[in-house]
Amino acid sequence: EIVLTQSPGTLSLSPGERATLSCRASQSVSSSYLAWYQHKPGQAPRLLIYGASSRATGIPDRFSGSGSGTDFTLTISRLEPEDFAVYYCQQYGSSTGTFGQGTKVEIK
């Protein structure tokens, strides 16, 4: 099973700042089958990025994904108030999917 490790655990930033979130896989993720989600309390997760770098429909262009192999990054170029949430990476390249443990982006 592929294990995903996200860092940092918590990111304390102010609105307007840039957020850089990391997701490292224990083995190579085939075909860059890596997705990112935003999750807020009481809601279902929201897909942001799939295929490591493709934005999902309706996602603002301040969200971008990059990386391949075992190292992936989600960047939020300028944080808006609604972006403060928990972010998860997910790999779907193996027959069993796995999620990272999450990064909380909180208001500084």
Residue 58 DSSP one-character state: T
Q: Would you say 14 or 95 has its CB closer to another protein? A: 95
Q: What is the DSSP letter of 32?
A: G
Pinpoint the alpha helices (H) of the chain. none
In the complex, what is the shortest distance from the CB of residue 99 to another protein, in angstroms, rounded to a whole number? Answer: 4
Q: What helix, strand, coil percent values describe the chain, rounded to 5?
A: 5, 50, 45
13 binding another protein? (CB under 8 A): no
According to the binding rule CB under 8 A, does residue 24 interact with another protein? no
First to last CA, the chain: 36
Shortest separation between residue 47's beta carbon and another protein, angstroms: 5
Residue 63 engages another protein in binding (rule: CB under 8 A):
no
* Beta carbon nearer to another protein, 13 or 59: 59
* Chosen residue from 23, 25, 35, 76 binding another protein by CB under 8 A: 35
Q: Judged by CB under 8 A, which of 7, 27, 94, 106 binds another protein?
A: 94
Coil, strand or helix at 78 = coil
Tell me the C-alpha distance between 95 and 17, whole Å: 37
| Among 13-21, 60-68, 69-77, 82-90, the segment contacting another protein (CB under 8 A) | 82-90
